[in-house]
Amino acid sequence: MLTEPQIQRYARQLLLRDVGERGQEALGAVLVELALPDEVAAAAAAYLRAGGTEVHGLALSDAPWAWTPPLLEAAPQRRLHVVAAPTVPERAAVVVGSDAGRAVLWSLGESGCRACLADGVRGLGPPDVGAAVQTGSLVALLVQRRALGLASPIEGLALSEGGAISTLAARPCPHRPPAVPEAVLRALLIHLASALPDEGCAVLVGRDDDVRLVPVENAQATHHARDPEAFPRTARTAFSLDPRAWLGLLREVDRTGERVLAIAHSHPDGGTHFSGEDRRSAAPDGLPLLPGVAHLVVAFSGGRPGAARWALWSDGDFLEMDCPLPSGS
């Protein structure tokens, strides 16, 4: 509960829908540690302190902004570290840099992907102190959004030389598999089981958290029958998305605004490994045919799904990670 002096001091922002008493308490529960050039840090510190968030300086600075308060009113519940590009320490929550005359800032939450933050920061130079006040205000904005629980897992802002502010779209995270609802996973397992003893295949498409299954016929048997030299494997050991269905699906997601999230296929022989053949098919020349699209391998044994693994393209290779299957599947 805020004290009377705090209510008087923060009256204007208490009126904001996204702040209120609880939001003001959240702003006060954060301690921001700034490791930025003095000019930018001074501006950020001024905006943050005016909003009720305390600031420490990590830089070796004796500038007035970097004073350390002798005693905080309460121990901070969260510490947010703001650093200057190109360094991105493990605990950085906000990174400030510059790119071709623009100030570029990225903010990462606890559920955000740190590898995506590193991708966003890659190539940025250190902050330009020429736009220190505006850049500092954006640091404060990103920190306050994080403190108030308004921020996306990862979000970015750019400030042009003319002063225009734009949001930077975080690309779909290629480092983590999509979150597939249990009901969709169950439907996938049923579809793949229906293809046994052949490999089955399907596509997962979606928008944000709305993921759906698109069962697709395995056209490998047809390809093999037509041209066994070009397609030496049968559908028992290989899959090939039916080309008509695949093209139709691409047109559909283009129309609906969805994305292809993952391509799933089964291994009827029991192995979940993303095989050499799988890798060659997904990245024939060492580059993924479908950047940002995950692959899911479901292994069957004795006609039942045993385990599943994701394969995600990252820095030149496919990383594999387990995909927990619904219990009783």
Partner 1 sequence: MTPDARIDITAEVCPMTFVRTKIALERLPIGGVLEVRLKGDEPLRNVPESARDLGHTVLGLEQLEDGTWRLLLRREGPAC
Binding mask 7-26 for partner 1 (x = CB under 8 A): xx--xx-xx-x--xxx----
Using CA atoms, how far apart are residues 304 and 41, in angstroms rounded to an integer?
59
Nearer of residues 22 and 122 to partner 1, judged by Cβ: 22
Give the Cα separation of 7 and 298 in Å (integer): 57
Residues 17-76 touching partner 1, rule: CB under 8 A, are 17, 20-22
Closer of 12 and 255 to partner 1 (Cβ) = 12
Q: What's the min distance (Å) between Cβ of 2 and partner 1?
A: 7
Smallest separation (angstroms) from partner 1 to the CB of 210: 22
Neighbour-count burial of 80, counting CB atoms closer than 10 A to its CB (0-12 exposed, 13-18 middle, 19+ buried): buried
Q: How far is CA 64 from CA 32, 55, 185, in A?
A: 16, 12, 57
Stretch that binds partner 1, among 6-14, 212-220, 283-291, 294-302 (CB under 8 A): 6-14
In sequence order, the β-bridge partners of residue 95 are 83, 106
Of 2-10, 169-177, 203-211, 223-231, the segment contacting partner 1 by CB under 8 A is 2-10
Q: Which is nearer to partner 1, 29 or 283 (CB)?
A: 29
**Cα–Cα distance between 48 and 72 in angstroms, integer?**
15
Q: Shortest approach of partner 1 to residue 23 CB, angstroms?
A: 9
Query: Least distance in Å: CB of 20 to partner 1?
Result: 5
Answer yes or no: are the C-beta atoms of 309 and 273 closer than 8 Å.
Answer: yes
Shortest CA distance to 145 belongs to which of 66, 63, 51, 208? Answer: 51
Q: Which residues bind partner 1 (CB under 8 A)?
A: 1-2, 7-8, 11-12, 14-15, 17, 20-22
